[in-house]
Amino acid sequence: MLAVLNVISCRSVLPQKSDAMREPVQDPATKAGTLESTNASNNLPKHLHPKSRWVPANWTDLPGLAQDNIKEAWQAWLLSCTQSTIRTTSICTEVKRLEGQSSSAQLSWLTRTFQPYRVENLNAGTHADLGLLTAYYEPVLEASRKAKPGFEVPLYAVPANLKSRSPWYSREEISSLPAAQSALKGREIAFVADPIDAMVLHIQGSGRLWVNENDGSRRQIRLAFAGTNDQPYQSIGRWLLDQKLSKDATWPGIKKWLSQNPRRTEELLSKNPRFVFFKEEALSPVEALQGPKGAQGVPLSAERSIAVDPSSIPYGTPVWLYSPGPQTTLKKLVIAQDTGSAIQGAVRADYFVGSGDAAGELAGRLKQDLNLWVLLPR
């Protein structure tokens, strides 16, 4: 089993996301074990992981299998195959061979080559296979290199003295203490208009900026996650709910409340002490078509990449995702390529929906039931 898992897993050294924080985690394939009990229908073993149990399933158990255009998942899979630990495997050779072929040909190979396993929580009761799906995205914001009226909210690179204390200054202290402000002087990458948009960028962990340069030119750059102040993340939406100030903790709901209570903006922001620092990355024409890099170290693919708990599902694993809900119904092949501090547990995923306002609208509202099946080579 260890050899099989290593075919579809890899190890990352690239933390990318902040408050759904994407930190490197040891590949749990090294801890995977096999239970003695077997599935009575096909005599395949269950597999036990630190946070999940994988139970053999039939392909007919996967909702929407015949309807998914799985060609859309192939680029994400190929990107996972670029990782050095798996790029030479026979599975990745076949994935490359099938690039550009029809969805029916790819599906035929998939069902011949892989065995689906239903992902279950270890300690759950009758609904062990039921979990939670949320979504995240890459914000796209207007920005200026210099502070000016309408663009006064700074986005910072890592301060030189970040490691001098842990935790570093809180969000509230950064906005008020001279020592913190002095440490950040000259570290401004750009300035945006809205403090809530800046908070969203902190939480998503990366984003794109349309920057008006000092010479009058305009170009798009990417801000990638570079570090935090080591303060704990606290949800400002949860604070609004707990204070009974709002019944809507989504980003659209938070923005609506602030539009009605603009003088309480700093008060609300201070409820999340965590602060994120960025690094600037140029965008080539190819990179402009891709998402930010996830914890696996490859660019994320819109609507085909998910963030998972690596103690449940290793990076690079092909996964069948099913989530019926009020915002959208998803039945599709996705690839586990990212993780985050808020993404904990066996049946838990964060769905990367892409870049821009439309993606942000869906990401801000998506929170619904989830079932997952991992696909292992036979």
Please give the backbone phi and psi of residue 307, each rounded to the nearest 5 degrees, phi first: -95, 135
What stretch(es) of the chain map to CATH 2.40.40.10?
2-136+303-377
Alpha helices in 217-319 (DSSP H): 236-242, 251-260, 265-269, 285-288
Nearby residues of 168 by Cβ (< 8 Å), 6 or more positions away: 159, 162, 229, 230, 231, 275
The pLDDT score that the predictor gives to residue 26 is 32
- Is the whole model's pTM more than 0.85, yes or no? no
Fold adopted by 139-288: Ribosomal Protein L25; Chain P (2.40.240)
Are β-strands 318-323 and 330-338 bridged in parallel, bridged antiparallel, or unpaired?
Answer: antiparallel
CB atoms within 10 A of CB 315: 30
Full DSSP string of 268-288? HHTT----EEEEEEE--HHHH
Question: Percent of the chain beyond pLDDT 70?
Answer: 87
Q: How far, rounded to the nearest angstrom, does the alpha carbon of residue 259 sit from its chain's CA centroid? A: 28
Q: Which helix (H) or strand (E) holds 172?
A: helix 171-176
What is the full per-residue pLDDT of the chain (378 aa) written as tens digits? 323 333 333 323 333 454 443 333 333 333 344 433 334 445 787 888 888 999 999 999 999 999 999 999 999 999 999 986 665 588 999 999 999 999 999 999 999 999 999 999 988 777 899 999 999 999 999 999 999 999 999 999 999 999 999 999 999 999 999 999 999 999 999 999 999 999 999 998 899 999 977 788 889 999 999 999 999 999 999 999 999 999 998 888 898 999 999 999 999 999 999 999 999 998 988 898 899 999 999 999 999 999 999 999 999 999 999 999 998 999 999 999 999 878 999 999 999 999 999 999 899 889 999 999 999 999
Q: CB–CB of 9/27 below 8 Å?
A: yes
Class for the domain spanning 2-136+303-377: mainly beta
Residue 64 — left, alpha, or beta (φ > 0 → left; ψ -120 to 50 → alpha)? left
Q: How far is CA 145 from CA 30, 210, 216, 217, 225, in A?
A: 46, 10, 10, 11, 19
